[in-house]
């Protein structure tokens, strides 16, 4: 069958598209609110952009005609941390995705703790084994209502030594969680190898 996106409404397009690009890694982003409290929220429209220097991007939609708190904070501070979502913190991640009022610390709602970043002011989530301190590179505004594609450079990786060996993170130990079409998620438990002869 063929589906022309012009023939379906916004919600149907969202449901279809998010069931097609799967599984998606989840950027669990921490930023600083203007009162100094921490904001946290997950974003699965997330990708690597370049590897050297490492740059990543995630896309934040508008809510009630305005940028969501994460985008608002990044526009002001030009920095953020991307924390990874894994089997052990996925329920907490879900709690932080709630539509909380600006200034409410989602990490407190989810009983999570923060560590002080080294190069930026936004803290990282201690319960996540990989945290990437990022500096904003650019924001691409696209669509109507506006989506904010946030592109940042990773300026410091925090990696739990228990999952790291010889320059890489062991995917068996990381236990990354992916987002599928709502409300589905996936664990990574069938990893295989392919090598050129």
Which two tokens mark 120? 């930026």
Q: Rounded to the nearest 5 degrees, what angle is found at the Cα of 109, between the Cα atoms of 104 and 115? A: 85
Per CB under 6 A, the list member of 92, 123, 134, 179 interacting with ligand FMN is 179
From candidates 56, 57, 60, 122, binder to ligand FMN by CB under 6 A = 60
Asked if 57 interacts with ligand FMN (CB under 6 A), we say: no
Q: HEC states along the chain?
A: CCCCHHHCCHHHHHHHHHHHCCCEECEEEEEECCCCCEEEEEECCEEEEEECCEEEEEEECEECCEECHHHHHHHHHCEEEEEECECCCHHHHHHHCCCCCCCCCHHHHCCCCEECCCCCCCCEECCCCEEEEEEEEEEEEECCCCEEEEEEEEEEEEECHHHEECCEECHHHHCEEEECCCCCEEECCCCCCCCCC
Smaller CB distance to ligand FMN: residue 44 or 89?
A: 44
Nearer to ligand FMN, 18 or 156 (CB): 18
Question: Which position among 38, 43, 82, 150 is part of the footprint of ligand FMN (CB under 6 A)?
Answer: 43
Nearer to ligand FMN by C-beta: 5 or 98? 98
* Minimum CB–partner distance for residue 139 and ligand FMN (Å): 13
Site string for ligand FMN, 103-142 (x = CB under 6 A): ----------------------------------------
Q: Does 44 bind ligand FMN (CB under 6 A)?
A: yes
Residue 150 binds ligand FMN (CB under 6 A): no
Q: How far is the CB of 99 from ligand FMN (least distance, A)?
A: 5
Shortest distance in whole angstroms from residue 182 CB to ligand FMN: 8
Interacting residues with ligand FMN (CB under 6 A): 26, 39, 41-45, 59-61, 68-70, 94, 97, 99, 179
């Amino acid at each position: 069958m063929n589906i022309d996106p012009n023939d379906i409404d916004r919600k149907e397009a969202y449901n279809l598209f998010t069931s097609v690009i799967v599984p998606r890694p989840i950027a669990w982003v921490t930023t600083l609110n203007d009162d100094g409290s921490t904001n946290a929220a997950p974003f699965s429209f997330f990708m690597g952009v370049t590897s050297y220097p490492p740059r990543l991007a995630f896309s934040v939609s508008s809510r009630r005609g305005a940028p969501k708190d994460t985008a608002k904070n990044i526009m002001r501070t030009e920095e953020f941390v991307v924390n990874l979502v894994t089997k052990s913190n996925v329920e907490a991640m879900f709690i932080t995705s709630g539509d909380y009022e600006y200034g409410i610390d989602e990490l407190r709602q989810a009983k999570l703790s923060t560590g002080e970043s080294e190069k930026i002011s936004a803290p990282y989530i201690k319960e996540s084994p990989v945290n990437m301190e990022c500096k904003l590179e650019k924001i691409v505004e696209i669509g109507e209502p506006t989506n904010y594609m946030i592109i940042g450079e990773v300026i410091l990786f925090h990696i739990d030594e228990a999952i790291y060996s010889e320059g890489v993170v062991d995917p068996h130990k990381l236990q990354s969680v992916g987002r599928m079409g709502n409300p589905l998620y996936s664990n990574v438990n069938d990893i295989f190898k392919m090598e050129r002869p």
